[in-house]
Structure 1
Amino acid sequence: MNYKNKIKAILGASLILTASACESYLDVNENPNNPQDAPITGLMTNITYETSLNVYREGNAVGNYVQYFASPNPASGSDTMEPLNFSSMWFSLYNVMTDLNELTKKAEESGASHYLGAGQVLMALNLGMTVDLFGDVPFSESFNFTTVTPAYDDDQALYNNILTLLDQGISNLQSSETSASIGPDDFIYGGDIDTWVKFAYTLKARYMIHMKGKEGYNASEVLAAVANGFDSNADDASVTYFEQRFNPWANDAINNANLLLTGWISEQFIEALDGTSYPTVDPRLKLMVGTTDEGEFVGTVNGAGRGNAPEQGARSTLIEGQFYTSQQSPLLIATYAELKFIEAEAAFDTDKARAYEAYLEGINAHMDMLSVDEDEKAAYLADPSVSMGADALTLNDIFKEKYVALFLHPETWNDARRFDYQYKDMTLPDNLNPNLGGEYIRRLAYPDSEVSRNGANVPSVTLTDRIWWDQ
């Protein structure tokens, strides 16, 4: 998307960023400072921008659980898997879905088929992110004035909604008739409808692979979605940041440099790439995280904190200026690399040759994304621990490389739970929440705001209760 158009779009939308939030049960009081009838273009601007931020918010919330991050403070609740309060993230997810409800109504009423299709795709994504974190959540009663205490819908039933929304979105995006064309108000693709369709199919593959091993899972359907999904890194769904709004991971890196102690890297992640847990050093490590002041990669043990190295610069952290942490870096929503690892997993049981080819292409795609030196990329891919051949390929290999390629992305927590946290050398954090009984966390606690507002409907669950696809 043209940079100047992006700036114009966000400035033009600045008055409507929270336009329809008051229609949700999340905010039952009318705000007289907010216009009540946001234009569809303004809604699209806010929705695409805030959806990318929801991906960041979730990635930041679960990054310690998958041991991308570790707190520099000992026994931090984020490390030790305590029941933290994610009221703000819950509100952000439902605010976007409320805007999406408004957008799809307006699009349907006006015959704007492409807006309707894109809205349905993004509703599926935001609903899917919410269900994957919390399990049962309100949806069917959430976007009108009939109740401020909506019932909770079953998580498995909501997955049917997600897939139906994606199918409807694909159909509407492919419609030859639309009363309005999406343009620079779309921060993800700038109105490129063909790529929106690929994005929808990529999300179908993502949500269907979660169902592996459960009733209704069909590997052939996953592979059919893959075939219609992204074709290269150029198709990746992302929002690119600009001078007025920094990429939020860049903000974290800047904060860390200013001694605000965020973005410290887990020992698990460092050792997965530095030759400790696996036979070869991954050339991506130096392009993803920083070194200590001594030029070494040193992680922090989850739950243990900084230990005997309290000073800044003695542990690896996110640093500004890398692929993920530059001020104008794209914030990735879904990628071609992710899709290739989904393909590898879906094909694994029936077509090892296809699985192996997709596995290698997933690595290659992520290395190209990071601009890995060609000689270093070739050396890594030639290592027998990486290029082991189709017959020797294991699911462990696929999940390990996907873990690296989805750095900072919340989808990794879905993988970790499906994989029972069986990443090589991953161990429970020190000072683990004793209520977990020596087990890994399986879901987030419902936020305090929801318990106080809608407590009669909030399900009674523990952090070890699994959502439907994880059982």
Structure 2
Amino acid sequence: MKLINIFKISLGVAIISMATSCETYLDVNENPNNPQDAPISGLMTNATYETSLNVYRIGSITSNYVQYLASPNPGTSSDIMEPINYSGTWFSLYDVMTDLTDLIRKAEESGANHHLGAGKVLMALNLGMTVDIWGSVPYSEGFNFTSVTPVYDNDQQLYTEILSLLDQAIANLSGPTSISIGGDDFIFNGNVSKWIKFANMLKARNLLHTSGSASYNPNEVLTALSNGFTANADDAKVDFFEQRFNPWAQIAINNQNLLLGGWISTQFIEALDGTSYPASDPRLPLMVGRTNAGQFVGVENGAGRGNAPESGARSTLIPGQFYTSTQSPVLIATFAEQKFIEAEAAFASDKGRAYQAYLDGISAHMQMLGVSSVAQQAYLQDPSVSMGEANFTIDAVFKEKWVALFLHPETWNDARRFDYGYKDMTTPQNLNPALNGQFIRRLAYPDSEVSRNGKNVPEVTLLDRIWWDQ
């Protein structure tokens, strides 16, 4: 990343941290020493940057639930699906949505339609992530500061709002503007055509979530995709830089320094090493590390590392790989994901199209990781991968999408829609007994909300499903 961009993000984060620290609906006191307004450029800079961190924050929660990662210690809360207080993640999501509320207002006032459209895309994304993990949440009263105890809006109604925001965004981005986005934008660097593609891709993603509902229309998904990404070059992502490492890289570095984290689940290792599926996947050595003996050895979720070769050595995230280099991007939405969305949406009506999209999704992810063309062809020619249209199943789509969305929070949405039906995926050892032998379906509302806004917080359990997970 160029030095000027590094300077901009440092300046932008500093500006917004001052401007928003007293603004969110969760805060009731004002700091007279801090400015209460921020320029549209700074809001855009901070919103794009912090949105990528929100994707990471939620991915770090859900990666244990979908068995990418596992704790080296037995009975760890994240592994065994116990209720955990994620107040920090809640604050991070609402801080960004508060900034976006200001951005949208300022953009409307100044005729900055491209900022307005990008702001609505980011609002839809952050609101969607919030709804997908908690269900009903504050929104209609969340940002007007008239109440410190805002009502909770129905999760299904919020999905209508998310889709409306994306439609509005596409219209805003397609028209003239008084101000160009330019370098204020750390996702697409002001490329408006890519913002429009991103909005359509997110529309398809959110429509696909409703696949189990009566309102689901796969043709609407495919229509959105026709205006979505066209190649890996369109991926929505934020690249990191020397002053702030990619957060997954920091976990890998910390683990090297014996601050344990980023240990790989047995489920993920065995899905790629030829144990659970016939084909050995050439992506495995590009995604996770080997033990000192050159082996891939996972950790069983809930059981910890226990006794094993090399006194318990296991595979972990290691520095320097695609997902864990210091300047690696945090991926928000990818062309590979879009191809798997297409495969699922087209499966019932056009199996040939679905099959080709499935293969294209694998290829796109392999190209992103830098898998050699020889290794790509060998994997794609394996009969268990290229099984032919007649033998092609929806299970294959979910499995390959699970691999291609490594560490991404969208996989937890897929896992719940798929009823955790991945081959050999079983509930963790020492599972939270309140789950009655079942997988977790939502997060518990954070303690900060229960204590501050308890009269409005819905009473739910970890088994209660949000509206599309029926």
TM-score by length of 2: 0.98
What letter matches 1:265 in structure 2? I
For residue 428 of structure 2, what is the aligned residue in structure 1? 429
For residue 101 of structure 2, what is the aligned residue in structure 1? 101
Cα distance, 1:276–1:311 mapped onto 2, change above 3 Å: closer
- Partners of 1:197 and 1:74 in 2: CA distance: 46
For residue 61 of structure 2, what is the aligned residue in structure 1? 61
- Partners of 2:16 and 2:68 in 1: CA distance: 32
For residue 83 of structure 1, what is the aligned residue in structure 2? 83
- Partners of 1:289 and 1:143 in 2: CA distance: 41
Shift of 1:20: 2.5
What letter matches 2:133 in structure 1? L
Are the aligned partners of 1:59 and 1:408 in contact in 2 as well (CA < 8 Å)? yes
For residue 29 of structure 1, what is the aligned residue in structure 2? 29
Q: Structure 2 regions of 5+ residues with no counterpart?
A: none
Are the aligned partners of 1:250 and 1:321 in contact in 2 as well (CA < 8 Å)? yes
For residue 413 of structure 1, what is the aligned residue in structure 2? 412
What letter matches 2:125 in structure 1? L
1:171 aligns with 2:171: yes
- Partners of 1:439 and 1:223 in 2: CA distance: 33
Secondary structure in structure 1 of the residue aligned to 2:250: helix
Structure-to-structure mapping, 1:238-277, within 5 angstroms: 238-277=237-276
What letter matches 2:409 in structure 1? P
Are the aligned partners of 2:212 and 2:469 in contact in 1 as well (CA < 8 Å)? no
- Partners of 2:114 and 2:13 in 1: CA distance: 23
For residue 155 of structure 1, what is the aligned residue in structure 2? 155
Shift of 1:34: 3.0
- Partners of 1:447 and 1:215 in 2: CA distance: 31
Secondary structure in structure 1 of the residue aligned to 2:402: helix
- Partners of 1:312 and 1:417 in 2: CA distance: 35
- Partners of 2:287 and 2:405 in 1: CA distance: 11
For residue 319 of structure 1, what is the aligned residue in structure 2? 318
Shift of 1:215: 2.4
For residue 339 of structure 1, what is the aligned residue in structure 2? 338
- Partners of 1:218 and 1:360 in 2: CA distance: 23
Structure-to-structure mapping, 1:47-446, within 5 angstroms: 47-175=47-175, 177-309=176-308, 314-446=313-445
Residues 169-228 of structure 1: CA deviation (Å, up to 9, x unaligned)? 0000001x2111001110000000000000000000100000013122111110011110
Secondary structure in structure 2 of the residue aligned to 1:187: coil
Q: Percent identity?
A: 70
Number of equivalenced pairs: 469
Secondary structure in structure 1 of the residue aligned to 2:35: coil
Give the stretch that moved more between structures: 62-71 or 210-219.
Answer: 210-219
Are the aligned partners of 1:5 and 1:184 in contact in 2 as well (CA < 8 Å)? no
Shift of 1:306: 1.2
Shift of 1:11: 2.9
Residues 214-253 of structure 1: CA deviation (Å, up to 9, x unaligned)? 1221111100111100000000000000111100000000
For residue 41 of structure 1, what is the aligned residue in structure 2? 41
What letter matches 2:117 in structure 1? G
Residues 105-141 of structure 1: CA deviation (Å, up to 9, x unaligned)? 0000111000000000000000000000000000000
- Partners of 1:33 and 1:424 in 2: CA distance: 56
- Partners of 2:375 and 2:462 in 1: CA distance: 42
Secondary structure in structure 2 of the residue aligned to 1:217: coil
Are the aligned partners of 1:59 and 1:409 in contact in 2 as well (CA < 8 Å)? yes
What letter matches 1:34 in structure 2? N
- Partners of 1:311 and 1:189 in 2: CA distance: 45
Structure-to-structure mapping, 1:444-463, within 5 angstroms: 444-463=443-462
Shift of 1:21: 4.1
- Partners of 1:86 and 1:52 in 2: CA distance: 18
Residues 128-180 of structure 1: CA deviation (Å, up to 9, x unaligned)? 000000000000001022100000000000000000000000000001x2111
Residues 366-391 of structure 1: CA deviation (Å, up to 9, x unaligned)? 00000001111100000000001112
- Partners of 2:142 and 2:310 in 1: CA distance: 47
- Partners of 1:214 and 1:15 in 2: CA distance: 43
What letter matches 2:52 in structure 1? S
RMSD over aligned CA atoms reads 1.1
Cα distance, 1:178–1:303 mapped onto 2, change above 3 Å: same
TM-score by length of 1: 0.98
What letter matches 1:30 in structure 2? E
